[in-house]
Amino acid sequence: MKSTWFLTIEDQVKDAKIVLASQSPNRLALLKEIGLEPLVVVSGFDENLSKDLSPVEFVEETAVGKALQVSDLLKQNKFLRMKSTWFLTIEDQVKDAKIVLASQSPNRLALLKEIGLEPLVVVSGFEENLSKDLSPVEFVEETAVGKALQVSDLLKQNKTEFDVIIACDTVVVVDDEIIGKPEDADDAMRILQKLNNRWHSVFTGVVLVDKNQRMDKFSVETKVKFGNIPNEMFREYIKTGECMNRAGAYGIQHKAAVFVEAIDGCFFNIVGVPLFEVVKRMRKLLLFPK
């Protein structure tokens, strides 16, 4: 931590290593406000305890589950080991590669799990506020670089071993405008109307960083065409809340699939991870470490 001012009277704890077992940006912001710089490790604890519990029991037991799961992962030092890296198992030295996903996106995590990866999720606090005057490729690649390097620094400071960090950033582009996540429902409607009945591009920038600090930076473009969608469908979609926290105000793998008439390119790139390119390049980093 940069400044643990309330612990500095004790030398043995003034540089305490703090882990936040939550992906909540509000909780992270609160801790930063009091001078903490915790490592964010997302718990996979299933928050499905019985609602018959008292409110106190419910929140306390849920917090216990999150804390113990993250504690076990950290203590065992197995939290970075993939259960099955089938596309690397021909090489003994990399079949148990330690993978880190520098993103709190549940969609990206779900995609990696679908191909057999079980990465540690470490949330980057990188401010995604680069100039929109950059080209789409520069914007997504440099944002991914910022995320990857910040997580790499956090892991090194905490002496956490890793083999590869995966960082991504996705934007939608139409009429040369870089469109990120909507600010509110009105902004979501503006974005969806702008995408309606025409083609737009989805760019995902990816950065892979290995344990030797070698970096592979690239981006992938997929073109998407919306059909002619009536405004009332957009309004009902926005009410579901699915549009929020998504580049372009839609999730193609969910309800917004009904808006999409055609795509040209990698479907998974639209979701947030161009899997073919990521695996191809990750194999190169891991199988040829020098």
How far apart (Å, rounded) are the C-alpha atoms in residues 104 and 139? 19
In one-letter notation, the amino acid at residue 23 is: Q
How far apart (Å, rounded) are the C-alpha atoms in residues 221 and 266? 8
Torsion of CA 273, 247, 139, 153, to 10 degrees: -60
Note if 169 is an active site residue: yes
CB atoms within 10 A of CB 36: 19
Which among 96, 169, 210, 216 is annotated as catalytic? 169
229 within 8 A of 259, measured Cβ to Cβ: yes
Phi/psi at 87 (5° precision): -85, 5
225 within 8 A of 261, measured Cβ to Cβ: yes
| Residue reference for tokens 């891991």 | 286
How far apart (Å, rounded) are the C-alpha atoms in residues 78 and 72? 9
Residues forming the active site: 169
